[in-house]
Structure 1
């Protein structure tokens, strides 16, 4: 029922289950999950608390309660919940992964790397843990290890767009432009919703003087996110470089409309007007 999106019916069934057996922790947890899905975090929290009170060893409920706290921005409470989930289930890969994500966001890179590593030890096919650990290792300056993580991710999922993009970024930083471009193209081939490989490929095309290809990349970024002011400025700059000043002006105007305090867009617009008139 829940899977078919029949939320009201599922809600009624869980309530009936709780009426029959008020100590049925799974029903409380599932009810909380419904509220989480519709964005009612306070109700979700209330019911997860009930679930773990009834069944303190309920690892999934601890994990999900942590997710609610994280969504509320209460990170220390989320960490405590993930740790309780691990006490209840020491091989809980997802709990390690979620813990690692918080540590990564807090720039505690060593802790993040440790937890991602634990997640992988618990589940050697945990694709996202490899990719995320790669990001943490790269930020910690351990680039060769990061490459190994991204490659491990791609062994498990050859069309993982973030891992392909992340490898492209490393080769871009190493000035291995054609290798970087091949990874960005591979990422673009497997997803239509990720703008970073398009932006980066556009930079490469522009450096190579392939202005039409660069513009095509920025245009695709703007299809994904029409409010991407940076892409508008970059496309405007590209138009301007090969003489299409009127189109550059249009992009700069749109960029300052979206982001009125974007100094670069104002400066480039002034420069384009000067060039034109």
Structure 2
């Protein structure tokens, strides 16, 4: 079956993954510190660790200041997957049973002997992670990994600076984006905005896929005002299909709100991965 895979876009409320932090692999930092990468369509904050199973790179992907969700990005040699699949995952810190639970997508890279793990987590998760001494990440079917955390607060400031720069390149006022205190409320599950039937026939017939990054604006009335490509897939039909589907289905119960509860315009970004299994 042909389907469009929405990377780091959908999130579900699911049963918790049972983890035993005491039995987790203890990782050791194998890099001088946090690395801040300015990508064409996002900011990526990461740190590399060494585990008994190999290298483990923990990363946070973000775009604009104030956007309520950020991307979780892990590159690991220790978690193996033979096929692209979705699994349950948890993030926890000492003193709290669980900070987050949800689904992640595992993308195997056999030739590199690595697995790429992508997910989407609330931005509010970053504060307790930065304040903790360590964080434990568990993916169903894999051995949990505990990462020592240090200098994370300074790293988050670097991430915020990157987000402000990224907003400027898109012609967006970073202060306006930061003004959002309560995000716009989707009327339906965000993961339902783009479906497999949206796959362009031209790309399907050619047997090709691609990844496109899109940006949309929700106005003060809670309606989608615009959608545009911020990083092309390399095919106009795939880029256009992503925004067309979003403009067709994205609906909100209410707009974003500022600290005083007033309606304000807001933005959202996601990567859309068109793939033929």
Category of TM-score, reference length = shorter chain: under 0.3
| Larger strand share, 1 or 2 | 2
Larger radius of gyration: 1
Give the structure-2-normalised TM-score. Answer: 0.23
Structure having the larger proportion of residues in helix: 1
Work out which structure has the larger RCO, using CA pairs closer than 8 Å and 6 or more positions apart in sequence.
Answer: 2
